[in-house]
């Protein structure tokens, strides 16, 4: 091995030793710094704890260290649940940020729809219905309203029967007959003629209809 190679190797070893010494020095300084920080925090923590104890003592509050220890252990045991809760809150916050524009658009659409309904007069109709109900309540007693509610089924049946096509047709025929039966054009009937016409099929059917109607009406 030549002298030059030997010197190079020695120089390389010295360089690595210098680096190791520098790294060791940095680590020692870091440890010293950490130690100083821990010492400072310990002093501050002790002072804060003493101050807190004195303040609680002056306020007449006694610390239950068993309860505090139990609370701390419970916090440690539930740290995963707390993390899940924080993640849930974060997800809800993100959801609200994403849903914000949608909610805003829904609000705008709702306002426009209510404005459209108002322009069409629906709210005025509802208002008039309210006025009508107020008039009904002022005109009729609670007993009358109660009777109406008790007979609402019968009232509904009456209305349904009233609008039955057969009933409407019969009512229309009766109105037409009354309309066409002008007094000056009605034929005069004698007792004999009336008795004679009573034997006609039309009169017999009419009398039968009237008798049936009276029987049903008087039930």
**Structure confidence by residue, pLDDT tens digits, 19-75:** 777 877 877 777 778 777 777 777 776 777 677 767 766 776 666 667 767 777 777
In a domain, 71, yes or no: no
Q: What is the pLDDT of residues 124-164, one digit of tens each?
A: 888 888 888 888 778 877 787 777 777 777 777 777 877 78
Residue 91 lies in a domain: no
Can you tell me the distance from the alpha carbon of 100 to that of 96, in angstroms, rounded to the nearest whole number? 6
Domain with 22, as residue range(s), is 1-42
Q: Structure pTM?
A: 0.29
- Do 177 and 210 fall within a single domain? no
Count of domains forming the chain: 4
Unique residue bearing structure tokens 């008790």: 150
> In terms of domains, do 35 and 16 share one?
yes
Q: What is the 3-state secondary structure (H, E, C) of 65-132?
A: HHHHHHHHHHHHHCHHHHHHHHHHHHHHHHHHHHHHHHHHHHHHHHHHHHHHHHHHCHHHHHHHHHHH
């Amino acid at each position: 091995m030549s002298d030059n190679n030997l010197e190079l190797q020695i120089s390389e070893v010295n360089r690595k030793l210098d680096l190791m010494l520098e790294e060791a020095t940095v680590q020692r300084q870091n440890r010293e710094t950490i130690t100083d920080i821990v010492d400072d925090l310990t002093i501050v923590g002790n002072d804060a704890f003493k101050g807190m104890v004195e303040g609680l003592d002056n306020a007449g509050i006694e610390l239950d260290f068993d309860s505090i220890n139990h609370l701390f252990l419970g916090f440690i045991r539930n740290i995963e649940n707390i993390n899940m809760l924080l993640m849930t809150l974060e997800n809800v916050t993100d959801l609200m940020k994403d849903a914000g524009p949608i909610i805003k658009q829904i609000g705008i659409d709702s306002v426009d729809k209510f404005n459209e309904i108002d322009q069409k007069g629906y709210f005025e109709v509802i208002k008039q219905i309210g006025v009508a109900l107020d008039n009904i309540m002022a005109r009729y007693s609670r007993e009358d309203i109660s009777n109406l509610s008790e007979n609402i089924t019968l009232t509904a049946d009456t209305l349904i029967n009233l609008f039955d096509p057969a009933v409407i047709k019969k009512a229309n025929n009766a109105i037409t007959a009354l309309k066409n039966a002008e007094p000056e054009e009605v034929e005069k009937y004698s007792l004999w003629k009336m008795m004679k016409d009573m034997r006609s099929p039309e009169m017999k059917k009419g009398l039968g209809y009237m008798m049936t109607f009276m029987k049903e009406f008087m039930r």
